[in-house]
């Protein structure tokens, strides 16, 4: 696979290395408190970390199985965690108690999406199924099989649900959850692991196991307008900076890259040679105070600050 050349013109300083998980970390989410985040993964734990102060982490929950997804619903004061056994734990963050356990899917829950104007939770699973839940009374609205392949990621745009699938296809569903279109964009059989809408709402950006990030026009029926060989292995997560001028991609190739959102040039690359992760990088957060948080299979959470 082609290696993307870059200029390191933005410097990141590592300000914290948070250790304590006993297995790979698969998901991050911002905390309800400033300068804190949640993590979860292989060791079944949900943990809250202070990113700046060197304080002991707080155990939020011990789950019966490993977890692959985590979602904060701020308006409801809830933290949701999707597990390897197909369940979603709904945790009241004030009392740190589980108030509901949702179970329809039979395999790993890779992504969770809250649609606020409908007060609905979307759950996608490795068994190829989608479930939709009413977040007021936690009743099941619909459950259906989308494909025989794994469903890896989901986002909403203009009342359409976009689902990244293991076969390299992005399936598009209407508000009744029926497939109305599909984007055959990544290499066949290379799963679409992450999806994000650009802040300008001009592009749908997808990251895949083929190592590419693809840009699709939201103004021209999801037409592919740019395909970039971003990493040597799978791309697992993409996040934009709060000011929308940059974005980050993280990868199984043990690196993460910061990109100029306008020119699509790499302005910084961090790998183990410069203090980065020693294994797959699985998730990233970008906070408003120029703090970046990355995590992965090496069981560490690394906190970075953009040098001034």
With a pLDDT cut of 90, the percent of the chain lying above it is 93
Residues 6+ apart with CB under 8 A from 21: 39, 41, 42, 43, 45, 47, 299, 301
110 in a structural domain: yes
pLDDT band at 8 (very low <50, low <70, confident <90, very high): low
- Tens of pLDDT, residues 92-143: 999 999 999 999 999 999 999 999 999 999 999 999 999 999 999 999 999 9
Contact of 285 with 10, CB cutoff 8 Å: no
More confident residue, 185 or 126: 126
Q: Supply the pLDDT for residue 46.
A: 98
Q: Supply the pLDDT for residue 224.
A: 96
Number of domains in the chain: 1
160 in a structural domain: yes
Residues 6+ apart with CB under 8 A from 222: 170, 172, 181, 183, 204, 216
Closest by Cα among 176, 123, 127 to 147: 127
4 in a structural domain: no
* Token duo for residue 211: 């190592």
pLDDT band at 1 (very low <50, low <70, confident <90, very high): very low
pLDDT band at 188 (very low <50, low <70, confident <90, very high): confident
Domain that holds residue 269: 12-306
81 in a structural domain: yes
pLDDT reading at 285 higher than 90? yes
276 in a structural domain: yes
6 in a structural domain: no
Helix or strand or coil: residue 208? strand
32 in a structural domain: yes
pLDDT reading at 6 higher than 80? no
Closest by Cα among 210, 255, 247, 213 to 230: 213
Cα 14 to chain centroid distance, Å, stands at: 22
Closest by Cα among 193, 188, 152, 157 to 174: 157
pLDDT reading at 7 higher than 80? no
Helix or strand or coil: residue 139? coil
Q: Supply the pLDDT for residue 54.
A: 82
Among positive and negative, which fits the CA dihedral 303, 259, 197, 143? negative
Closest by Cα among 75, 68, 31, 67 to 50: 31
pLDDT mean across residues, the chain: 95
- Tens of pLDDT, residues 195-249: 999 999 999 999 999 999 999 999 999 999 999 999 999 999 999 999 999 999 9
CA dist 307 and 199 (Å) reads 24
1 in a structural domain: no
CA dist 238 and 222 (Å) reads 18
Please identify which residue in the block is written with the tokens 């259906």. Answer: 144
Q: How many CA atoms lie within 13 A of 71 on its CB side?
A: 26
CA dist 38 and 30 (Å) reads 6
- Tens of pLDDT, residues 20-65: 999 999 999 999 999 999 999 999 999 999 999 888 999 999 999 9
CA dist 92 and 106 (Å) reads 24
CATH number, domain containing residue 127? 2.130.10.10
- Tens of pLDDT, residues 145-164: 999 999 999 999 999 999 99
């Amino acid at each position: 696979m082609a290696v993307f050349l870059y200029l390191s013109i933005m410097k990141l300083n590592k300000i914290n290395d948070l250790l304590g998980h006993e297995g790979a970390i698969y998901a991050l989410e911002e905390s309800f408190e400033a300068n804190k985040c949640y993590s979860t993964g292989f060791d079944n734990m949900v943990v809250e970390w202070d990113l700046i102060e060197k304080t002991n982490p707080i155990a939020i929950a011990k789950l019966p199985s490993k977890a692959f997804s985590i979602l904060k619903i701020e308006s409801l004061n809830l933290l949701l965690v999707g597990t390897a056994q197909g369940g979603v734990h709904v945790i009241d963050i004030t009392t740190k108690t589980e108030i509901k356990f949702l179970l329809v899917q039979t395999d790993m829950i890779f992504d969770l999406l809250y649609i606020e104007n409908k007060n609905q939770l979307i759950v996608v699973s490795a068994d190829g199924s989608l479930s939709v839940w009413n977040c007021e009374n936690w009743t099941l609205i619909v459950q259906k099989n989308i494909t025989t392949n794994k469903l890896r990621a989901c986002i909403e745009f203009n009342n359409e649900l976009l689902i990244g699938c293991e076969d390299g296809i992005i399936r598009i569903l209407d508000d009744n959850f029926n497939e109305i279109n599909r984007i055959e964009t990544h290499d066949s059989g290379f799963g679409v692991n992450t999806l994000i809408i650009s802040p300008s709402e001009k592009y749908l950006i997808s990251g895949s196991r083929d190592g590419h990030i693809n840009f699709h026009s939201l103004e021209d029926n999801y037409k592919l307008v740019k395909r970039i060989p971003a990493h040597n292995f799978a791309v697992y997560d993409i996040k934009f900076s709060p000011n929308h001028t940059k974005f980050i991609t993280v990868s199984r190739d043990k690196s993460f890259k910061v990109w100029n959102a306008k020119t699509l040039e790499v302005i910084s690359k961090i790998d183990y040679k410069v203090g980065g992760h020693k294994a797959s990088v699985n998730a990233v957060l970008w906070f408003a105070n120029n703090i970046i948080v990355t995590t992965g299979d090496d069981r560490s959470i690394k906190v970075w600050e953009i040098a001034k």
